[in-house]
Structure 1
Amino acid sequence: MKKLKCLSLSDEIDIIEVESTFTRGLPGFSIVGLANTAIKESTERIKACLMSKNFAFPAQKITINLSPSGIPKQGSHFDLAIAILILLQKQDFKECFVFGELGLDGSVKSTNELFSLLLFLSTKLEKAEVLVPFSLAAKASMIPNLKVYAVNNLDEALEFFTSEQREKFLYSSTHPLFANPIFIKEKAYIQNTDFAFDFKDIKGQENAKFACLIAALGMHNILFEGSPGSGKSMCAKRLVYIMPPQSLNEILAANAYESLNSKECEFSSQRAFRNPHHTSTRASIFGGGTRGAKIGEVALANGGVLFFDEFPHFSKNVIESLREPLEDNQILISRVNSKVRYETKFIFVAAQNPCPYGNLFSHKLNCKCSELEIKRYKNRISAAILDRIDLYVAMDEVRSEDKSSFSSKELSDRVLQGFIFQKQRGQTEFNAKLKDEDLKHFCVLSKEASNTLELAIARFKLSQRAINKSLKVARTCADLKQSEIIEKEHLLEALSFRIKA
């Protein structure tokens, strides 16, 4: 039995072993192992291709098994691996990952999902050898952790496996982004140095800027409420530029998700920023589709920012559906033919007016909304959703004496120092994404802070989720001050950003 390796996307990315056997019996060619139609049809493509090369099929039964057999497989990128196993049935060769669709003339072609599969592979293995179509080699070779070999056709693929000079098929190049990483505890990170939108453009709003600093470092969800033109959207759009540096795996995963969205993507030091319109459908935001499980905005925002402007104007169904991705940091899209799970570790940023007309907080303009209209407007956001918000910011009214203060570069440097402080204590997750069982280890309170928390629980009637979120925000405030222990001042800062009922 001979075998090669490939990948398939089902509930998650799975490494598939392509195995072949030639047994006595009526001549035939079959593929087993829950293969979809595209893979089943490859029998005809491979037959036509091999016969055009004057290959004589043996008078035996050829069985191709895609293992593990219980996982559904899809995609035409299995063609090349299957053809190689048939052609080299009597020869020994070195195993590796093989990808490519075969043309009837023997050419090796790329597929739409192939680049995303390679990106996911690079996040699973620290080092892997892959054989890919030459048309994809330039992009694939820039993916860290992969040693890429490229072929144009089946003849070159055969030469690759039978020749001792495989290195002539090696395609090597390095993306400039990965040339100068920063290292934190011996792990490489890529820092953003492009500040296309700068916090220096925002005059005043010092409380909002401090909230953005906390949100960026700890990846905390944040709600801005204020009059139109107060700077809610400006803060949200600048937040992504001051977030901590990305690890190589985060960059690769972000590009993998983008490629699943059928988008030509480039490696970038900037984290994802998704800003769906309030008229967007539930399927476009959370993923779905009638045939397959398509990726949505909440997954595309993974590692970055998901911004909902005019939050109460989103449909009630969309707003309530945010509960799971905000709480569990993942989303499972289930369809009859497929189930796919995506990570949703992002900063959720929402912006809303204080009332339908928008002037409730204004000292200069009169609000024309009735109490009933304001109540209906507020009630569009349920208590369950508000309980998942870490930081609430009431935006100040714009004044003529307001001036610029911190730049995005200065805020980014503060976030970086806090991020290094996090990593040095052995923390792998952002503070907001810590599991509840990790709080005792990382969120250690001083005696004074512990007493303050007990008073806050009694006074504000905090739920268990609100308590945990307050601890996580306080942990971030302590990180900004390089403090191992959460002191009273850090906890008070965290509680000051809680939504008051």
Structure 2
Amino acid sequence: MNRLACATLEGVDAKVIEVEATFTKGLPGFSVVGLASSDIQEAKERVKSALLTNEFVFPPLKITINLSPSDIKKNGTHFDLSLALLVALNKKAFEEEGLFVFGELGLDGRVKSSSLLFPLILSLKEQGLIERAIVPKEAITYLSHISGVDFIAVETLSEAIALLKKGEFKANIEQFSYDAKMFRVEGTPYYFEEKYESDFADVKGQMIAKRAAMLAAAGMHNFFMEGNPGCGKSMIAKRLKDILPPISETELLSIAKHQFLDGQTPDFKAIRPMRSPHHTATSASIFGGGSGQAKIGEVALANYGILFFDEIPHFSKNVLEAMREPLQDKKVHIARVNAKIEYAADIMFVAAQNPCPCGNLLSKSKSCRCSEVEIKRYQNRLSDPFLDRIDLFVVMQEVSSSDSRDVTSKAMHEAVMEAFKRQKARGQERLNGKLAEDEIERYCILSEEAGKILEGAIVKFGLSHRSIASIKKVGRTIADIHGNEKIEKKDILEALSYRRRR
């Protein structure tokens, strides 16, 4: 009995599937067993046509193909090639350990790509389960980004059959090299782009908000802006993605994996994603869902990048409260009758809101039309536990004709890069805004004077444990911007200025 390895997706993770075939005496037939979905059942017709087109003669035997383990539901057209190879080589005994086979078949025997190939192979590689694979040649443009896997590219079924007959499985594809700027910290490469589609120089005034935006980017801190309509909240949010820290290969591939799962074609550029769902978006579209098979949402697509909620009080209460899980644990759990999955949600959360329903509460030239009850109801849309998970709060001023263009995106990006290098040189796996409790104690060390100031603030403002952690993380980022080894008095005072006032 011959065997080949393939895989199927269970949520966002790949599970190895062993494809095995037997040829027994009985009425000639061709069946696939092992919880195969309809697209795999349809593969029988594609396999038959591809084999007959390539002058293969079916033996007068009963062909049974089993997909093991049998209790996992399998789906995807990438099983075609492994099915066809097992049928075609029924007379040749072989058993290649660790050889994976992926590919959809055309009726003429051409080997085609599938949108699931990249997520499958990347997931297998992350689990250390794959070393070599036979794949469609047309998929190499994106599969070659995955290092550590020997890819054997084929264009036709007959080419794949010849490879298995010879038993030669040498990689015929070179690994991809990224077309982006790069530097190394402790031997690890990090990639970045210096393209500023929109410049912070376009945002006049708002020096405090732009300073806070740079700090948010440097440490990937959650960031909240409040201000009158037209003061520049959305402008700042949209320019943030161009000054974010550089990206590692692991992060870049994870972003591409989620894009494939969403049906997009990634460009593999060293740019962190930014997602900005509308406030009318449903909970399922933001967090993921689905009745038959759970799918990812906006939070997953923003992984390692920015999730921006504009006009945040208009989002539903369910969405806002559900955001507490990814902001705290950097993960999202989706539980359905037919699927339970968990996916990474390591996001930088950015939010913006008006001070009141009409937007003029902070205006010096316009009068607010809202009653105290309306203002209170509007501001109470956001709960304290939710707001406690945000590190930086800024109240923005009205735009004035005397406001100047004081800083560029390039200058801010350079400062972010230097802060990033300092964080990585300390041995931090995660950036300041994402540090866990034990990591805060290890890396956020305060000077004696800074420690006294923080202790006084805890007593005066009644800060919660989570608020104290946020202030320390922001202080650590400010110290990195200033080039300080410890968090000094000036750093902690500035960090305290960004805390939530009410």
Deviations 1:64-117, CA, capped at 9 Å, x for gaps: 3435x5544321212212332343353446543321123344332222322333
Question: Once the 2 structures are TM-superposed, how far is the Cα of residue 274 of structure 1 from its aligned partner?
Answer: 0.8
Deviations 1:166-211, CA, capped at 9 Å, x for gaps: 66x8344745525x52212111111121111111111111111111
Give 5+ residue unaligned stretches, structure 1: none
1:150 paired residue number:
153
1:405 paired residue number:
406
Q: TM-score, normalised by structure 1?
A: 0.91
2:133 paired residue number:
130
Instruction: Give the letter aligned to residue 338 of structure 2.
Output: N
Distance 1:416 1:475, change over 3 A: same
Structure 1: how far apart are the matches of 2:260 and 2:17?
A: 24
1:113 paired residue number:
116
2:332 paired residue number:
331
Matches within 5 A, 1:458-497: 458-497=459-498
Structure 1: how far apart are the matches of 2:127 and 2:358?
A: 50
Distance 1:6 1:196, change over 3 A: same
Distance 1:75 1:289, change over 3 A: same
SS in structure 1 opposite 2:77? coil
Deviations 1:13-33, CA, capped at 9 Å, x for gaps: 224142426486767766555
Q: TM-score, normalised by structure 2?
A: 0.91
1:375 paired residue number:
376
Instruction: Give the letter aligned to residue 68 of structure 2.
Output: L
Is the Cα contact below 8 Å between 1:25 and 1:61 reproduced in 2? no
Structure 2: how far apart are the matches of 1:498 and 1:376?
A: 22
Instruction: Give the letter aligned to residue 360 of structure 2.
Output: N
Q: Which of 172, 176, 192 pairs up with 1:170?
A: 172
1:419 paired residue number:
420
Instruction: Give the letter aligned to residue 179 of structure 2.
Output: L
Distance 1:338 1:324, change over 3 A: same
Matches within 5 A, 1:389-404: 389-404=390-405
Count of residues in Structure 1 that have an aligned counterpart in Structure 2: 498
Structure 2: how far apart are the matches of 1:200 and 1:297?
A: 29
Instruction: Give the letter aligned to residue 159 of structure 2.
Output: E
Instruction: Give the letter aligned to residue 208 of structure 2.
Output: N
Q: What do you get for the CA RMSD once the two structures are aligned?
A: 2.7
2:223 paired residue number:
222
Q: Which of 36, 42, 58 pairs up with 1:56?
A: 58
Structure 2: how far apart are the matches of 1:400 and 1:439?
A: 42
1:299 paired residue number:
300
2:10 paired residue number:
10
Is the Cα contact below 8 Å between 2:65 and 2:83 reproduced in 1? no
Runs of 4+ in structure 1 off by over 6 angstroms are none
Is the Cα contact below 8 Å between 1:126 and 1:145 reproduced in 2? no
Matches within 5 A, 1:54-453: 54-57=56-59, 59=61, 62-67=64-69, 71-89=72-90, 90-92=92-94, 94=96, 95-121=98-124, 123-124=126-127, 128-163=131-166, 170-172=172-174, 174=176, 176-177=178-179, 180-453=181-454
Instruction: Give the letter aligned to residue 58 of structure 2.
Output: A
Q: Relative to structure 2, which stretch is displaced further, 13-22 or 343-352?
A: 13-22
Question: Once the 2 structures are TM-superposed, how far is the Cα of residue 125 of structure 1 from its aligned partner?
Answer: 5.2
Q: Relative to structure 2, which stretch is displaced further, 490-499 or 420-429?
A: 490-499
Structure 2: how far apart are the matches of 1:444 and 1:5?
A: 50
SS in structure 1 opposite 2:235? helix
Distance 1:484 1:25, change over 3 A: farther
Give 5+ residue unaligned stretches, structure 2: none
Instruction: Give the letter aligned to residue 227 of structure 1.
Output: N
Q: Relative to structure 2, which stretch is displaced further, 333-342 or 209-218?
A: 333-342
Is the Cα contact below 8 Å between 1:310 and 1:353 reproduced in 2? yes
Question: Once the 2 structures are TM-superposed, how far is the Cα of residue 357 of structure 1 from its aligned partner?
Answer: 1.3
Question: Once the 2 structures are TM-superposed, how far is the Cα of residue 390 of structure 1 from its aligned partner?
Answer: 0.8
SS in structure 2 opposite 1:302? coil
SS in structure 2 opposite 1:357? coil
Is the Cα contact below 8 Å between 2:36 and 2:67 reproduced in 1? no
Is the Cα contact below 8 Å between 1:119 and 1:255 reproduced in 2? no
Q: Relative to structure 2, which stretch is displaced further, 107-116 or 462-471?
A: 107-116
Q: Relative to structure 2, which stretch is displaced further, 180-189 or 30-39?
A: 30-39
Question: Once the 2 structures are TM-superposed, how far is the Cα of residue 289 of structure 1 from its aligned partner?
Answer: 2.5
